[in-house]
Homo-oligomer: A and B are copies of this chain.
């Protein structure tokens, strides 16, 4: 389970980002429009024709996705396709994670109708997805160290309002191959969800130190 990677130059990164990020943002708007649309059958058929044409265009050339892309300058994996943080995955809010000098991570982003569970509130499982990701990222030093989630416990203090939220995470301690991380999700009224996770360095990476 050792993952291969390719390096992408800063220039090529900027080119792809400029070209593909607006496409993903347009898809996010379309997902939202689709969830609660009440248009008639004829209008749905017209929309379907556009979706089909767009799909055919985008499937014209596909990147072989068997490896992780790393940025030439930062060395960091891009995680462009990631369902929590991927700039190129319309499922991701995306959560754009900031790495502080002290190793902590945080992100502020908006959760719209696509992430709704009970009316007006974020689905609890979406909170778990996002906290799992940010805890994993803080534990693996920005995905630079191979680490896998062993266990994660998520405690719901109260509902999280849809809208602007903040996620944050830090490492509590490390013991041998285990790293203990903790994090929070907050809405405009404070902490709504707490998470604790144990992340483990896989056996194949242990000899490398």
A129 at the binding interface (Cβ < 8 Å):
yes
A206 at the binding interface (Cβ < 8 Å):
no
Shortest CB–CB separation between residue A112 and chain B, in angstroms? 11
Q: Measured between alpha carbons, how far is A91 from B86 in the docked complex, in Å?
A: 14
Q: Are A62 and B34 in contact (CB under 8 A)?
A: no
Q: Are A26 and B51 in contact (CB under 8 A)?
A: yes
- Please report A residues at the B interface, Cβ cutoff 8 Å: 1, 3-4, 19-20, 22-24, 26-27, 29-31, 33-41, 43-44, 46-48, 50-55, 57-63, 65-68, 80-84, 86, 88-91, 113-120, 123-126, 128-133, 136, 148-156, 159
Tell me the number of copies of this protein.
2
Query: Per a CB cutoff under 8 Å, which of B67, B113, B151 touches A155?
Result: B151
Which residue in chain B gives the minimum CB-CB distance to A200?
B156
Q: Are B136 and A132 in contact (CB under 8 A)?
A: no
Q: Are A43 and B57 in contact (CB under 8 A)?
A: yes
Collect the chain B residues with CB atoms within 8 Å of residue A31's CB.
27, 31, 89-91
Q: List 10 A-B contacts (CB under 8 A).
A: A1-B118, A20-B37, A31-B31, A31-B89, A38-B61, A50-B50, A50-B57, A51-B51, A123-B133, A151-B156
Q: Are B124 and A149 in contact (CB under 8 A)?
A: yes
Shortest CB–CB separation between residue A20 and chain B, in angstroms? 7
Q: Are B151 and A114 in contact (CB under 8 A)?
A: no
Q: Measured between alpha carbons, how far is A4 from B152 in the docked complex, in Å?
A: 33
Collect the chain B residues with CB atoms within 8 Å of residue A4's CB.
119
Q: Measured between alpha carbons, how far is A113 from B59 in the docked complex, in Å?
A: 14
Collect the chain B residues with CB atoms within 8 Å of residue A128's CB.
125, 128-129, 132, 152, 154
List the 4 closest pairs (A to B, CB-CB), nearest first: A125-B129, A125-B132, A50-B54, A128-B128
Q: Are B119 and A68 in contact (CB under 8 A)?
A: yes
Using A26-B48, A128-B125 as known contacts, say yes or no to A65 and B36 having CB atoms under 8 A apart. yes
